[in-house]
Amino acid sequence: DIQMTQSPSSLSASVGDRVTITCRASQSIANSLNWYQQKPGTAPKLLIYAASNLESGVPSRLSGSGSGTDFTLTISSLQPEDFATYYCQQSYTTPETFGQGTKVEIK
Amino acid sequence: EVHLVESGGGLVQPGESLRLSCGASGFTFQDYWMSWVRQAPGKGLEWVANIKQDGSETQYVDSVKGRFTSSRDNGKNSLYLQMNSLRAEDTAVYYCARWRKREVWSLDSWGQGSLVTVSS
């Protein structure tokens, strides 16, 4: 199975900060990498697919990059609605494994 | 608008069975692969199963193989997860989601989840 490792596991940031979350795959997954956001008590929501494609309706302050084994999710200017947990997922091969999550908290 | 609604969760004892359902609307259900993803309390996301449009192909995470069966009824726009021989470690919120291919596969729409608790 492909292991997905996110860092950091949690971070504290202020509104307006630039935030970067990284995701590393245990083997190359080309661009088969998705990012999801989950707020407490709610279902996950797809943010980015194929490493860098923004899902419809997702604000442009979010962006994704990377290929192969190393990927990043960047929030250019953190907004109050961005405080949540973020997960990466590889869809290169079954089982389609998730990272352990990165919780973004208010400083 | 895509809408997915899970039902059927509850409290069961170890070794018992439970069947989850997921009703779909707002899209042509028979055109899409569908998935189940679960989340144990306070933990991260775990992919559980995929099922092809016509139900002819299914995929499962190793920990549920032989115990869980995903099926679908395209005439009823419904997805099912039959869970047998349940264990304490199966306790989780179970989400159904649409598995969509756009350049790569992703889970682009999710239900609200159904809680399954396995405890004596």
Average pLDDT, stretch B4-30? 98
Give buried/exposed letters for A4-37 (b at 16+ CB in 10 A, else e): bebeeeeeebeeeeebebbbbbeeebebbbbbbb
Q: Which of B106, B108, B109 to mutate to test the interface with A (most CBs of A within 10 A)?
A: B106
Alpha-carbon distance B18 to A93, whole Å? 28
Average pLDDT, stretch A27-47? 98
Q: For residue A55, what pLDDT is reported?
A: 98
Q: For residue A1, what pLDDT is reported?
A: 97
Q: For residue B116, what pLDDT is reported?
A: 98
Residue numbers in B near A42 (CB within 8 A) = 112
Residue numbers in B near A98 (CB within 8 A) = 44-47
Query: What percent of chain A has pLDDT above 90?
Result: 98
Alpha-carbon distance B49 to B61, whole Å? 6
Q: For residue A104, what pLDDT is reported?
A: 98
State the average pLDDT for chain A: 97
